[in-house]
Chains A and B, each alone.
Chain A
Amino acid sequence: MVESYVIMRVGDQRYGAHVSQVQSVERLGEITPVPRTLSFIKGVIHLRGAVVPVIDLAERVGLTHRAQDADEMRVVIAEVEDRVVGMIVDGVEDVVQIPPETIEPPPAVVGGLQAVYLKGVARVGGGLLVLLNLNRVFSAAESEQLQQIEQFITS
């Protein structure tokens, strides 16, 4: 029994998202900014008749983009617990099969990410693949957002 992960490239780090949570991979189109929200929430996009919020995964995990070719940038649309969110990444590479037993527990901090956002790490093709726990990535964003809104109100 192996599990499939979509490999996303952010800077020179590679992150994996479980295929069951990935709906589609889209080209980067026009983003409508949403004011009064967190900076890593880039706005909303139009996706086949629906409106989907997009976040910058690099900014979310504390990395900066290298000067990127916009043609290569992608939006990975993921659905987690009724939340549909697009993640802007520098590129999408491949889908890999990873046997669960080869997944190691995450070290405390990997590539700028706290362990809570991680499912684990796996060796793929000689490199290290950080497997994201999207449930945490998305929900933590939400609570940060609420904090920021509170600041907005009290300020």
Chain B
Amino acid sequence: MNREYLDAFLAESTENVEKLEDGCLELERQGPEANLVAELFRAAHTLKGMSATMGFSRLAELTHRVEDVFGLWRDHPESFQPEQVDILFQAIDRMRVHLEAISTSGSEPDLKDDDVMASLQTAFQAREPLHPSQKNGLEEDRARYATEAERQGKVAYRLHIQLTSDCMMPAVRLAMVYQTLKDAADIAAAEPTEDAVWAGDVQTTEAYVVVYLERDEIERIQEKVLDITDVARCDAERWVASRGSASQQDSRGKFASQETRSQSMSTTPAESAARPGSNDSRPDRSIRVSVRRMDALLNTMSEMVIAKTRLDTIAAASNDPALREAVERLDRLTKDLQDEVMQLRMAPVESVFHRYPRMMRDLERKLNREFDFVMTGLETEMDRIVLEEMGEVIVHLLRNAVDHGLEPPEVREQQGKSRRGTIRLSAYASGGHIYIEVADDGAGIDRARVLQSAITKGVITPEAGASMSDEAVYELLFQSGFSTAKEVSDISGRGVGLDAVRDKVESLGGKIRIDTELGRGTTFVIELPLTLAILPALLVSVRGQTFAIPTANVDEVVRLREADVRYVQNESVYPSGDRIVPIIDVAEWLGLGVRRWVFPQTAVVCRNGEQKFVMVVDRVLDELEIVNKPLGRYLEGVRGFSGATILGDGKVSLILDVRSIGQSA
């Protein structure tokens, strides 16, 4: 199968599955609100249609069943029961399994969905007998249809269609009738149902159809229906939304309908205000672009910036005011263009966060906690790649918050706290950084307990512990030997894998810290660079070659005097603050030359997580923003460089990988 089509299908289907999932969460909260159910119905319908088109019949079948459920709720919201949503979640999970399999193998998995299908069947078929409009000409929902039609600025008619009693093929005739109606109006409800008629699954010669249409069309439609072979009668009854009185026949409806119209005029604005953008405002239209193309665009862009820099130099040396002016203008345009292009790499955090509510709902049940999960700042934008990498980290922190942060409801009550806790995930931008916070109002972290286990583990001495700042104590939780031990995580109420969390955050050039108050809760604050593609860096010179060091890894630059250097087992070290850190001579490490023993030396104090070390360079040239370019697969085995950048003069400069250099220290 054409991979391009398949990718488009997968992307769109995944989006629809996400819509279904988000919508189902919403359903659980607010019940079968009409717009919501309609939206869910559409999502299921689209997914079904696409799957069928692509030939994924099992997925189509599964989605069809789900669509039916939304159809049922749309027509009979009173039949909704919150427990039923669980079954829908099962079905949604199964859709994901299908899509994943399709994504890897390109074809539909050999998967039996009988279990899910059966659950859907039992949960919803049990309600069929209660189906309120069986054989009563859809009378039950008269008021609702009328109101809904009015809301759409249309009129509701109930058509009663009778075929001749000797009709040979009632199913086919009814299908033709329905098709005619569908072409001319909106079918709101029908008996027999549309699906049954399309399936040819009817024997009756009688049908009721509720349609919404523009005011003057009813006669034309009746004529059209009557034109169909074997249609004996087509009676129309106009349904008007008027409180109390049951029906208004068409013949005497005029007066009453004006009255109802004025009523609806007064309700409409309030209604539309309550659902902003639900009707006419279309979502921002978008196109899909591959990351590869984006990178190509970014490349061309940086190429252009370099060309422009050269032009700047030429213009500056020239006396031609027209040239200078043109270059200045080009300067501004390039800047704008660059901002735009960078913006394209950004994605709202929502694109990753949207999957958390479902996860949190499941965790809440599994771990017997009670809490509200609140997400804020969903529109905050950050670099797509950073964001995707952060996805798992956030999952980890959220799990921790539910499992270790939040107390069970009974405990909370005993402590005089509200039974229901709150877990908050927020994102915001500030001062050139993106912040992501995971906060709970749970037990908080007990400094004494953390210290106690650190001392027991031999991580620190009791004396050292006593003088440690709170911050330094919480810092212990991120240490690998510390946090992976299970009993520690239980005692401290925190921990498993926090070292992995920090590693990930730092590999993205970010930082993480803990704010906590005993009994009040804990907040993990992650600070990330706006983008990975552009990062601030220090340019240093080593034996005539220029290298970049990301400033995220740099603590400070110091002048190293001979007296500052100590020796431990023949290795030179530097006392930095309260620590002794190793010295790495960059020239020597890179094999560019032997170490020079001329002082003072320029030393860059670097940090890689917990580890600190000093890199001796020849000179610091500059500090500036650089565009990070990958070295490519051919050089991926080379250690010591995390990428390269192109400087203003068009020359390539390698970015030193502080992590790998530090590991060899």
Contacts and interface: CB of A to CB of B under 8 A. Distances in A.
Chain B, interface residues (CB within 8 Å), range:
20 to 34
B342 to A, nearest CB: 14
Contacts of A43: 652
Report whether over half of chain A's contact residues are helix, strand or loop; otherwise say mixed: mixed
A34 B298 CA distance: 24
Contact of B646 (A49, A84, A149): A49
Contact of A34 (B300, B301, B646, B654): B654
A149 B545 CA distance: 22
A49 B639 contact: no
B299 A49 contact: yes
Contacts of B633: 82-83
Given A32-B651, A34-B654, A52 B632 contact: yes
Contact of A45 (B303, B638, B652): B652
16 contacts: A32-B644, A32-B653, A34-B654, A36-B591, A36-B639, A49-B298, A49-B302, A50-B299, A51-B644, A52-B632, A53-B635, A82-B633, A83-B632, A141-B634, A149-B638, A149-B639
B632 A84 contact: yes
A37 B652 contact: no
A44 interface: yes
A142 B637 contact: yes
Contacts of A35: 590-592, 640
Contact of A37 (B630, B635, B646, B664): B635
A36 B588 CA distance: 11
Interface string A135-155: 000100110011001000100
A131 interface: no
Contacts of A48: 299-300, 303
B481 interface: no
A46 B654 contact: no
Report whether over half of chain B's contact residues are helix, strand or loop; otherwise say mixed: mixed
Given A46-B646, A51-B630, A51-B652, A41 B635 contact: yes
B629 A146 contact: no
Interface in A15-67: 30, 32-37, 41, 43-46, 48-53
Given A36-B638, A50-B299, 16 more contacts: A30-B652, A32-B644, A34-B635, A34-B638, A35-B590, A36-B591, A41-B635, A49-B301, A49-B302, A51-B632, A52-B632, A53-B634, A84-B632, A146-B637, A149-B637, A149-B638
B646 A51 contact: yes
A75 interface: no
A149 B633 CA distance: 16
A53 B640 contact: no
Contacts of A85: 634
Nearest to B587: A35
